[in-house]
Amino acid sequence: MAKVEGQGGSITAMGVKAIVEKYQGDKGQLVSILQDVQGELRYLPKDALEEVSRELDVPLSQVYSVATFFRAFSLTPRGRHTVKVCLGTACHVRGAARVADLMELDLGIKRGETTGDLEFTLETVGCVGCCALGPMVMVNDDYHGHLTSDKVNNLLKRYRNANHDE
């Protein structure tokens, strides 16, 4: 049985087939299918897209079109922790750009990149909807408000240490 490898682990071709079957092979559910595959692997590797194409009997170009249209999908490996720095107006005027700069320095990557150890992916977003708490940073699904320059290192350290506890 062929395996589809990703940073989150691997799933067999049967695993992709099971995800497709969960949606009764409905081609209209392509986005949901890709979300589930990415949920397993943390990104959409070429092998996984090819398997989805085969299972749904849709052209690979159509699968790639959907996977590249939506920003939520990634064709490159992503970190275990996704760090999103809000650069919306309220956060920006409270120093979010400086927070983002310090995150880049601490992680050793630029915005939009993933650390070599695949622990962190750093992104910036337009707004996370918590303007009164700015500057805001999301790490995975956790919100961290009133983040100042002096809190950046401790925040990242907390997530680094959490990895060693698992």
Least-confidence region, from 39-43, 81-85, 127-131: 39-43
Residue type for position 49 = L
Query: For residue 1, is pLDDT > 50?
Result: no
Per domain, the residue ranges of the chain are 3-69, 81-165
- What mean pLDDT value characterizes the chain? 90
- Mean pLDDT score, 96-107: 96
Buried b (16+ CB within 10 A) or exposed e, 107-142: bebeeebbeeebebbbbbeeebebeebbbbbbbeee
Query: For residue 5, is pLDDT > 80?
Result: no
**Topology given in CATH for the domain delimited by 81-165:** Glutaredoxin (3.40.30)
Q: Is 6 helix (H, G, I), strand (E, B) or coil?
A: strand
What pLDDT score does 41 carry? Answer: 87
Placement of tokens 């939009």 in the chain = 112
Model confidence, pTM: 0.77
